[in-house]
Structure 1
Amino acid sequence: MHLDLTDDPKADDEAFVIDQTRAYNRRFSQGGAQRLCVFARDDEDHIIGGLTAKTYWQYLDISFLWVDERHRKLGYATTLMLAAEAEARRRGCKQVIVDTFSFQAPEFYRKLGYSEWGRLTEMDGVHERHFFRKAL
């Protein structure tokens, strides 16, 4: 055996490991992950905000939430979140999980009814990573 440690893996190698892990997981639960994205667009069809996530095993797992700085504080992030939560409910999800850094939006998630269930400290020496959940 030898190790191949890289920051530039072959796409097929990375996909193989992911596919094998998912195949193993399917032995314990029905259904796989389904992507869920919500985009806010301006009148010229440019993306001014977006949310990327997956739904699986009755969970909405939010990966990224972003709103262009020129459009913040106008309710777009809340609108994106509510749309994703509604679609997750339609897909049969019962919970949402998301994480955010201390310099990003922990208070935003609290205002939307999320409760913190974990925290990592000293990320990059000074930041915290907050883990939130919410029942749908």
Structure 2
Amino acid sequence: MSGLFGTLASGGFLILLVAAGFGFGFALVAGQGRKRSAMIGGLCAVLLAAILSASPVFRANMTGAITVLFVLGLLALPVMFYAFVLRQIRRRNAPALNPLPAGLRLIEQDDALFRETLEHLRDENARQPDYSRQTFSIAWRDARGAVLASVRCEILMGLAEMRALYVQPEMRDKGLGRQVLQAALDEAKSRGAARAMLHTFDWQVPDFYRHLGWTRTGEVSYPAGPRRIQFEKQL
């Protein structure tokens, strides 16, 4: 046993590399992956170094190995620095590469682009002398603050367009939709709107608007079958 211990101790740094290689190889064959196998190989080398550290022969060999590595590292520093500087010069002088060639793009998740485009269009429209735009919403809240019904109004150059009228399902047929819509019309009129309009699909009870005095002024038929109906009303 002492002979084996002495043989391993005389191997010095080389025997640690062998131990690390064996540990890495067995772990890799066992399906541990490269990163975990490398950790296991390093752990084998550390454990063997701890065992052999009691031998003065091993300590002497390791001291010599560390000294040699240190000297080699000092000699390699200028070469590494030169390679770093050369790489930076080449990168700086390399022509700029555009990873995306110019041309058409299909953008699936386009909400952000659409909002940005709308802002550009609104900025251009706002520079026109007759352009004016206001928006507001009317909501019906319960005692806890929950919104039970709401509608949004956009007044564009005197025309008030009602959008997104919605009533919670459990609160329908209670008059909330009629009240928030009328409140929005009154507010729009007080802000100078002369006419109101809205669009609704044929499955969204268009008779509701007829009963409130809205006039049907247009219709769009979709190839799939549904219709989008336009209503207007003087204020």
Is the structural similarity TM-score above 0.5? yes
- Given the alignment of the two structures, is residue 71 of structure 1 paired with residue 182 of structure 2, yes or no? no
Amino acid at match of 1:111: H
Residue 95 of structure 1, CA deviation: 0.7
The Cα RMSD (Å) is 1.8
Amino acid at match of 1:6: I
Equivalent residue for 1:24?
Answer: 124
CA distances 1:62-113 after superposition (whole Å, capped 9, x unpaired): 1110111111111111101110001001110001110001110211111111
- Given the alignment of the two structures, is residue 133 of structure 1 paired with residue 224 of structure 2, yes or no? no
- Given the alignment of the two structures, is residue 42 of structure 1 paired with residue 145 of structure 2, yes or no? no
For 1:9, which of 110, 115, 121 is the aligned residue? 110
Equivalent residue for 2:191?
Answer: 91
Larger radius of gyration: 2
Residue 114 of structure 1, CA deviation: 0.9
Equivalent residue for 1:104?
Answer: 204
Equivalent residue for 2:44?
Answer: none
Secondary structure class of the residue paired with 1:117: strand
Residue 10 of structure 1, CA deviation: 6.8
Instruction: List gaps (5 residues or longer) in structure 2.
Output: 1-101
Q: Which has the higher contact order (CA 8 A, sep 6+)?
A: 1
Secondary structure class of the residue paired with 2:121: helix
After TM superposition, the runs of 4+ consecutive aligned structure 1 residues lying more than 4 A away are none
Secondary structure class of the residue paired with 2:222: strand
1-structure distance, mates of 2:207, 2:168 = 18
TM-score by length of 2: 0.52
Percent identical? 24
CA distances 1:5-28 after superposition (whole Å, capped 9, x unpaired): 3131373x4344223322332325
* Contact 2:131/2:156 (8 A) holds in 1: no
Q: Residues 44-59 of structure 1 correspond to what in structure 2 (within 5 A)?
A: 44-59=144-159
Higher helix share goes to which structure? 2
2-structure distance, mates of 1:122, 1:36 = 30
TM-score by length of 1: 0.87
Amino acid at match of 2:228: R
